[in-house]
Structure 1
Amino acid sequence: MHLLFVDESGTPPPPDKTDSQPHFVLGGIIVPEEVWPKLTSDLNRAKARHGVVGEIKWRYFSPARGGKPHSLSHLTDDEKGLLRTELFEAVAKYRSVRVIAAVVDTAAAYRHWPSLKSDDDLYHLAFKQLSERFQYFLQDLERISGQSTRGLIVSDNRNNDQDSRLKEFHQSLLAGGSFTSGYANLVEGLFIAASHHSPGTQFADLVAGAIFRSEFRGDSRFYDQIAASVRRGPNGQVAGYGLVYIPKK
C-alpha cells in the first residue's frame, strides 16, 4: 500500500479573483506504508530537537513580523531554516518516497477550460491531474514488481462543504467515464485529515510550498533539497510526470 498525502500552497480563486491569486500548487508526497512510521518519527524527532509543539506549516517559516503566535514563533530565522532543512532531508533520504504536484496558472486555466466556473472546479482539476499521476505511479510499480500495488489518498481538510464536494468528485473519478483515467489501483474513498493530526499532510504542505516558491518566486533553494524525490519519466523528465502544469507550458 502507498499513501498519497495532499495539501496546497496558495489558494485557488474564483474566475474574477485571479489577479490576487495568480498561481497555486497542489502538492503531494507518496509514502509506502512501511516508510510512513519512519517519516512520522523523523518529524517528531525534529520537532523535539527544536522544542516545537503543534503542527508545522510552510507559512510558519516566514521571518517573524509579529502577528498571531504559532508553533515556530520561539525559533530564530536561522533555527527555522535548520528545522526546514532537516525535514526536507527526511523526505529525500527514503528512495521509495516520491513527490508530485499540480502547478496551476489560475487565469490561464480559466481561459483554457471555459467549463471551469468556480474555485472548486479549479481545485478539482488540479486534484484530478494529481490523482492520475498517482495512479500512473502505482501502475509503473505493479508492472516492475509483478505484484499487486494499491494506493490511498489522504487530503488536508479545507472546510466541510469543500471537503464534501471533493469526496463526491473523488468518487466520480473512481466511477470512471470517457474523460477520466482508470483508477484500478486506488482503494475506494478519500480520507480527509486535519493537518495538525496528520504528519503526512504536514510534509505535503512543505513540499507544495517549496515547489510554489521555486516556480513562482524564482527561489529553488528548498525545491533543490527534494528534487531527487520528484517523480520522473523514463528519460528523467519532470514535466508531466512529477510536476503537472495546468495548463501545459
Structure 2
Amino acid sequence: MYLLFVDESGTPPKPELDAHAYFVIAGLVIPEDRWSGMHEKLSGLKRASKYRGEIKWRFFAPNNNDPENPMLGWDQGKRNEFRERVFSIITETKSCRIIAGISEAPTAYALGNVQSPSDLYFRTYKVVTERFQYLLQDITKTSGRDSYGLIVADHRGRGDDDRMRQQHERLVRETGRYTSNYANFIEGLFFSPSHMSVGIQLVDMVAGAIWRAQTHRDLIWLEKLRPSFRAAPTGQIDGWGICRFPKAGWRGSILT
C-alpha cells in the first residue's frame, strides 16, 4: 500500500489576475512500511531541536515572526539547518516519491473551461492523481505484484472538503477519452488536519519548495529534494514528477 499525501502552496489565483501567477499542489508518496520510521525521525528531530508544533513552509521565511511560529527567535541560519534536516527525512527514505502539479493561472483561465479558483484547484489536483496512478503502475510492473494506493489531503474546511471529495469520486469512477483509469486506487479521498499528520506536514514543505522554485526561480530547496522526484530515466522531472497545467501555451520557465 502506498499513501499519497497532498497539500497546496498558497491559494488558487483568481481569473482577473493578468501577471504570471502559479498554483502548486504537491504529493508525497510514502509506502505504508516506511511511514512509521519517518514519523519517528520527524518526532525525534523536533524533540532534539526543541521545536514544538507543526511544521509549515511559511514559518521559515526570514521575516516570519508570528507568535505561533515555533522558530520564533531562531536566526535564519538555524531555520535553514532545521529545514535541511526535515528534507533529509524525505530524501533518505529511498522509496518515497514526489509528484506535483503546477498551474499557470492566466494560461489555464484562457482555456475557457477553467472559470474559477475551484476549477483551477481541481485541474491541478487531477494531474497529481494521474501521476500517482502511473507511479503505481510502474511499481506493479517492476515488482510483479499489484500495488495500490490511497490519498490523504490537508483538511481545508467542511464545504471545501465535501466538494473535493465529490469531485475526486467522479474523477476516479468516470472513464473516458480525457480521464485516466484509476485501477490502483483504493477507497475515496481522505482528509487529515495538518497538525495531526506527519505526511501533510512534510508535503507542505515540498509544495513550498516547488512554488518558490517556479515563482521566483529560487532552486535551492527544490534541488535538495530532486533525488525523491519521480523522474524519467534521463533524470528529467518535467512531465514525470512535475506536471504543468496547461502544458500547451505555457509562458513561464520550466522546472526540468
Q: Pick which of 119-128 and 21-30 moved more.
A: 21-30
TM-score, with structure 1 as normaliser? 0.95
Give the match's secondary structure for 2:181: coil
Deviation per residue, 1:144-171 (Å, 9 max, x gap) = 1110100010001112111111100110
Structure 2 letter corresponding to 1:171: E
Deviation at residue 73 of structure 1 after TM alignment = 1.5
Match of 1:5 in 2: 5
Whole-angstrom CA distance in 2 between matches of 1:200 and 1:150? 18
Unaligned stretches of 5+ residues in structure 1? none
Task: Find the aligned partners of 2:190 and 2:200 in 1 and give their Cα distance.
Answer: 11
Q: Which runs of 4+ in 1 moved over 6 A?
A: none
What is the aligned length?
Answer: 247
**Offset at 1:46?**
1.2
Give 1:219 shift: 1.0
* CA deviation after TM superposition for structure 1 residue 20, in Å: 7.7
Match of 2:116 in 1: 118
Residue of structure 2 equivalent to 1:177: 175
Q: Secondary structure at the match of 1:234?
A: coil
- Cα separation, partners in 2 of 1:51 and 1:64, compared to 1, 3 Å: farther
- Segments of 5+ residues of structure 2 without an aligned counterpart are 251-256
Q: Does 1:216 align with 2:215?
A: yes
Secondary structure of 1:158's aligned partner: coil
CA distance in 1, matches of 2:19, 2:71: 27
Matching residue of 1:168: 166
Distance, in Å, in 2 between the alignment partners of 1:36 and 1:46 is 15
CA 237–66 in structure 1, closer or farther in 2 if over 3 Å, else same: closer
User: C-alpha root-mean-square deviation of aligned residues, in Å?
Assistant: 1.4
Offset of residue 244 of structure 1: 0.4
Report percent identity of matched pairs.
38
Letter matched to residue 11 of structure 1: T
Write the distance in 2 (CA, Å) between the matches of 1:123 and 1:100.
16
- Bigger Cα displacement from structure 2, 41-50 vs 122-131: 41-50
Give the Å deviation of 1:235.
Answer: 3.3
- Distance in structure 2 (CA, Å) of the matches to 1:135 and 1:20: 33
**Map of 1:90 onto structure 2:** 89
- Asked whether the 8 Å contact 2:148–2:185 carries over to 1, the reply is yes
Structure 1 pair 172/108, CA: closer, same or farther in 2 (3 Å)? same
Amino acid of the structure 1 residue aligned with 2:108: A
Call closer, same or farther: CA 1:98–1:133 in 2, change over 3 Å.
same
Deviation at 1:50, TM superposition (A): 1.4
Secondary structure at the aligned position of 2:121 is classed as helix
CA distance in 2, matches of 1:15, 1:205: 25
Q: State the TM-score, normalized to the length of structure 2.
A: 0.92
| Structure 1 residue 142 displacement after superposition | 0.4
Question: Which letter does structure 1 place at the counterpart of 2:13?
Answer: P
User: Are residue 245 (structure 1) and residue 234 (structure 2) matched?
Assistant: no
CA distance in 1, matches of 2:227, 2:183: 28
Alignment partner for residue 132 of structure 1, among 125, 130, 133? 130
Question: Are 1:120 and 1:162, in contact at CA under 8 Å, matched by a contact in 2?
Answer: no
* Residues 162, 21 of structure 1: alpha-carbon distance in 2 compared, 3 angstrom cutoff: farther
1:79 aligns with 2:78: yes
